[in-house]
Amino acid sequence: MTDESELAHDLTAILSDLIAIPSAYPPGDTTEISAYIRARYERAGYSCQTLSRADGVDNVVARTGAGSPQLALNCHIDTVEAGERADWQSAPLEAVLRDGAIYGLGANNCKGSTALHIWLGEEIMRVGGPQRGEIVFTFTGDEERLGPDGMRFLRESGALKPDIMLVGGPTENDLIAEERGVLWLRITATGHAAHGGDPDSGDNAILRMMRVVGHLRAELEPRLATRVSGEKRSTMNIGRMQGGHNVNVVPSACWLEIDRRLLPSEDVEEAFREMAEIIAASGEPAECLDVTFLTGTNGFSPPLDGPGISALAAAIEARRGRPPVFINALAVSEGRYFADDNIEICNFGPGDGATSHAANEHVPLDQMVDAALILRDTVDRLLGL
């Protein structure tokens, strides 16, 4: 029987260590925090690798056991920047326990879940390891910029091929089992520069972009309004725009970036083609427009009665005395890179996502204790301890 006060002490100590190690993006350097994590797993008896394909972006893979099923647990270990220091009530890189919660940069997203997974990995070895199958713990960088050098790299390199993936993140110990896809694209419009005092002698790229965006919205937004599944909606956000270089010059170039969120039933490549076709039909000269795919992954919606989600749901109910709530996700997780692999993917962890990326970020300690015991029970149900 786990002593919960001792567990709370252990989790606080691990999270304090993690918060004290800077891993903010930019620059997103995860070498130091990866070394700390790998050292703990190696001491516990895991086979460990540090994998990277970009300087400073280290990813840790720690595994034990063999065979099927392969249960993978993931946390990202990079954070956003702290922002304005004056907005913090305590030092961002110092863990502070206040009013039952641990405060510090990344406490909620995602170092709280990282601390849980470290404790869980050590606990599994304390009781002799899994009786069947394999468990793989992954800790990845490059998440905060949706970059290719974290979990996407691990999948492409074959470092893990899970049957079940549990992604750590702030869900207040409920479940996110469905996630929308994401598509980022850039539109570039070109024109012809001229003196700002004679705008008719030029071809204004910003005005061209305004016409294109007006056409895109008129054509696409009515379609998106019909694409709804429960609380999930298919959406488009115009996130960034830049054009021109001086106010007295007719701009010869303008670019704009769009964030599209897709229902799990939509396909990211089809969504890109749909937008590109609408833009091409805007009436602007084809040679003056370019549409570039920046990044994108499909969403996922696994069966809720599969072995992984069933085990996690049962462990939540056993600990909390009620079935879990399946909540809607606004953001995207590292599980999206396995969306096309026909596996179970679920997000679970302590903390409220609304406090992520904000000053005085924090995670409730009682939720961390609950989550640690829920995860231990889940592993026991799936692999045997």
**How many CB atoms within 10 Å of residue 153?**
21
- Are 304 and 227 contacting, i.e. CB atoms less than 8 angstroms apart? no
Q: Model confidence at 126, in pLDDT bands (50, 70, 90)?
A: very high
For residues 145 and 133, give the distance between their C-alpha atoms in angstroms, rounded to a whole number: 33
Instruction: Tell me whether strands 235-243 and 253-262 are parallel, antiparallel or unpaired.
Output: antiparallel
Residue type (1 letter), 321: G
For residues 152 and 143, give the distance between their C-alpha atoms in angstroms, rounded to a whole number: 10
Q: Is the peptide bond before 27 cis (omega within 30 degrees of 0)?
A: yes
What percentage of the chain has pLDDT greater than the value 90? 95
Structure tokens given for 4: 């919960």
What is the arithmetic mean of pLDDT over 71-75?
98
For residues 165 and 136, give the distance between their C-alpha atoms in angstroms, rounded to a whole number: 9
* Backbone conformation region of residue 360, classed left if phi is above 0, alpha if psi is from -120 to 50, else beta: left
Block residue for tokens 């996110």: 176
Q: Which of 29-33, 69-73, 357-361, 364-368 has the lowest mean pLDDT?
A: 357-361
User: What is the pLDDT at residue 125?
Assistant: 98
Torsion, Cα 314 315 320 326, to 10 degrees, reads -60
Chain centroid to CA 143: 6
**What angle do helix axes 365-383 and 112-126 make, rounded to 10 degrees?**
40
In 45-171, where does DSSP find H-type helix?
A: 112-126, 151-157
User: Does 187 have pLDDT greater than 80?
Assistant: yes
User: Does 355 have pLDDT greater than 90?
Assistant: no
**Which residues neighbour 190 within 8 Å (Cβ) at sequence distance 6 or greater?**
205, 208, 252, 253, 287, 288, 289
What is the arithmetic mean of pLDDT over 103-109?
96
Q: Is the peptide bond before 303 cis (omega within 30 degrees of 0)?
A: no
What is the arithmetic mean of pLDDT over 13-30?
97
Structure tokens given for 381: 């149900």
In the chain, where does DSSP find H-type helix?
A: 4-20, 31-44, 112-126, 151-157, 205-225, 268-280, 307-320, 365-383
For residues 193 and 364, give the distance between their C-alpha atoms in angstroms, rounded to a whole number: 56
What is the arithmetic mean of pLDDT over 293-315?
95
User: What is the pLDDT at residue 114?
Assistant: 98
For the chain, the average pLDDT equals 96
pLDDT per position as a tens digit, 148-183:
999 999 999 999 999 999 999 999 999 999 999 999
**How many CB atoms within 10 Å of residue 55?**
10
User: What is the pLDDT at residue 255?
Assistant: 98
User: Does 2 have pLDDT greater than 80?
Assistant: no
3-state class (DSSP) for residue 287: helix
- Are 300 and 179 contacting, i.e. CB atoms less than 8 angstroms apart? yes
Structure tokens given for 327: 């909540």
pLDDT per position as a tens digit, 262-288:
999 999 999 999 999 999 999 999 999
Task: Delineate the domains of the chain, giving CATH numbers in brackets.
Answer: 4-179+300-383 (3.40.630.10), 182-296 (3.30.70.360)
What is the arithmetic mean of pLDDT over 91-100?
96
What is the arithmetic mean of pLDDT over 84-106?
96
Residue 277, CB-side half-sphere exposure with 13 Å CA sphere: 8
pLDDT per position as a tens digit, 131-141:
999 999 999 99
User: What is the pLDDT at residue 354?
Assistant: 84
User: Does 1 have pLDDT greater than 70?
Assistant: no
User: Does 61 have pLDDT greater than 90?
Assistant: yes
User: What is the pLDDT at residue 330?
Assistant: 78
For residues 343 and 164, give the distance between their C-alpha atoms in angstroms, rounded to a whole number: 6
- Are 361 and 355 contacting, i.e. CB atoms less than 8 angstroms apart? yes
For residues 17 and 30, give the distance between their C-alpha atoms in angstroms, rounded to a whole number: 14
What is the arithmetic mean of pLDDT over 98-115?
97
- Are 347 and 180 contacting, i.e. CB atoms less than 8 angstroms apart? no
pLDDT per position as a tens digit, 194-204:
999 999 999 99
